[in-house]
Amino acid sequence: METFGTRLHRAVAERGPLCVGIDPHPGLLARWGLPDDVDGLARFARTVAEALGDRVAVIKPQSAFFERFGSRGVAILESTIRQLREAGSLVLLDVKRGDIGSTVAAYASAYLDPSSPLYVDAVTASPYLGVGSLAPMFESAAAHGGGVFVLALTSNPEGAQVQRAVTSGGRTVAQLVIDEISQLNRGAEPLGSIGLVVGATIGDTGHDLSRVNGPLLAPGLGAQGATAADLPTVFGSSLSAVLPSYSREVLNAGPDADALRAAADRAVADCRHILAARH
Ligand SMILES: O=c1ccn([C@@H]2O[C@H](COP(=O)(O)O)[C@@H](O)[C@H]2O)c(=O)[nH]1
């Protein structure tokens, strides 16, 4: 079975280095002329999947915007995931789950087991109950060719308070997370399947990402103020592993499918140019 790292490496080679988020904010629904209800959600998600599912490497539905409509919203999330997978994009579900290990095992069944209705290629996970508590997700990912992106240095300004706190061993919390994930990816070719989330907004991280050997998801581009030109400062010599992620910047171009495609094409061109320059 192919690993997620291998599948991601191929998808990026074929479609370009880009992740587009599906974040149906109430303001975006209004901008698209859609009602802020389940029907509006369904039309929004279907439009993005139809426009981008066959051309963007990774699509990242933000679970919160589906969950806010309860079980009907989750049903739309399920059908959106199916539609995206059928169209050929890898689906990264942004759920940022984390808990004690026995509960993480249930999250692993929900998202990384192919028999689940919410089965996706990869999920985001929070390490703040200890990186080891996420082991059931890592094991399930390994068993089924899935991936996990663990929060390390997030794009929001509040994150630093926790992530840059210094542990008893002298490393920051973020560096501890980075080092543990680096261990999990050791020796993987062409890329490990356990990634990290590192915001494109944060400037020079002051952290060592050189041994991660896994994908580095970079949210914060566009609406949060970062641009592709910021990526070299943030990622330095690890630039080749970066998966740039945009949500509102691309979604603002909708609902016209051609305009959505053009916005995604612009984003991928900007990123490809910057990432290629530093290889
Ligand atoms: O550090 C992080 C981790 C996750 N996110 C998520 O990414 C998108 C960003 O949306 P934009 O519209 O491109 O700002 C959103 O779903 C966040 O929850 C992040 O921004 N930062």
At a CB cut-off of 8 Å and minimum separation 6, what does 223 contact?
247, 248, 249, 252
How much is the pTM? 0.98
Question: Mind listing the pLDDT tens digit for each residue in 94-115?
Answer: 999 999 999 999 999 999 999 9
- Indicate whether residue 219 lines ligand 1 (CB < 6 A): yes
Tokens of 119: 């089965």
- Whether a cis peptide bond, with omega within 30° of 0, leads into 255 is yes
The CATH number of whichever domain residue 90 belongs to comes to: 3.20.20.70
User: What local confidence, expressed as pLDDT, does residue 276 receive?
Assistant: 84
Pocket test for ligand 1, best of 19, 63, 94 (most atoms within 8 A of CB): 94
User: d(Cα 249, Cα 220) in Å, to the nearest integer?
Assistant: 10
* Cβ(40)–Cβ(34) below 8 Å: yes
Question: Mind listing the pLDDT tens digit for each residue in 180-202?
Answer: 999 999 999 999 999 999 999 99
Strands 194-198 and 147-153 come out as parallel
Tally of domains in the chain: 1
9: containing domain: 4-278
Average pLDDT over residues 152-167: 98
**DSSP 8-state class, residue 159:** H
Strands 216-218 and 90-97 come out as unpaired
Residue whose Cα lies nearest atom 13 of ligand 1: it is 247
User: d(Cα 38, Cα 44) in Å, to the nearest integer?
Assistant: 10
pLDDT band of 241, cuts 50, 70, 90: very high
* Cβ(43)–Cβ(64) below 8 Å: no
pLDDT band of 277, cuts 50, 70, 90: confident
User: What local confidence, expressed as pLDDT, does residue 54 receive?
Assistant: 98
Question: Mind listing the pLDDT tens digit for each residue in 164-179?
Answer: 999 999 999 999 999 9
Average pLDDT over residues 191-219: 97
Q: What is the ipTM of this complex?
A: 0.99
Indicate if the pLDDT at residue 279 is higher than 90: no
User: d(Cα 95, Cα 197) in Å, to the nearest integer?
Assistant: 13
Backbone angles phi, psi at 175, to 5 degrees: -65, -35
Question: Mind listing the pLDDT tens digit for each residue in 71-99?
Answer: 999 999 999 999 999 999 999 999 999 99
Between the CA of 1 and the centroid of ligand 1 the distance, in Å, is 30
* Cβ(137)–Cβ(104) below 8 Å: yes
Question: Mind listing the pLDDT tens digit for each residue in 141-150?
Answer: 999 999 999 9
- Indicate whether residue 63 lines ligand 1 (CB < 6 A): no
Positions marked active-site: 96
